[in-house]
């Protein structure tokens, strides 16, 4: 399942170069991931009830084009692949002209909340991935 959210770039997200600060793109992607989890019926409290958390362990991001104040951006999230305890979600940020602004692959791991060690991906999450 691919999901997307839309945002408008705010003044507090602009850096001294007059465009969106690089760290803000990670926030945009986090907001989109949260939306993806919710639409997959896997909000934070569902994982907590299972005694499981998800931890981001790697982000590979490509900055493709500037985003500026007032622009409307669409941030999409889709599952790419899964391993035993890790999984990858892909993000794309597109501006209102359809230009790719940034894209990234985010690797997360499922952990036992008490032991703080990796555990196999629960079936509820695994079924969201292709193959």
Active site residues: 15
User: How far apart (Å, rounded) are the C-alpha atoms in residues 69 and 65?
Assistant: 13
Neighbours of 131 (CB within 10 A): 4
> What are the DSSP E strand ranges found in the chain?
3-8, 52-63, 72-82, 86-95, 100-112
């Amino acid at each position: 399942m691919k999901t997307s959210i839309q945002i408008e770039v705010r003044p507090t997200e602009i850096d001294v170069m007059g465009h969106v600060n690089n760290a803000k793109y990670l926030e945009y992607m986090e907001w989109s991931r949260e939306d993806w989890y919710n639409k997959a019926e896997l909000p934070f409290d569902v994982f907590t009830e299972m005694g499981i958390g998800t931890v981001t362990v790697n982000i590979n991001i490509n900055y493709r084009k500037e985003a500026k104040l007032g622009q409307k951006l669409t941030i999409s999230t889709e599952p790419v692949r899964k391993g035993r305890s890790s999984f990858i979600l892909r993000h794309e940020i597109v501006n209102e002209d359809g230009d790719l602004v940034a894209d990234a692959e985010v690797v997360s791991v499922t952990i036992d909340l008490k032991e703080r060690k990796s555990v196999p991906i629960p079936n509820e999450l695994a079924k969201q991935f292709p193959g």
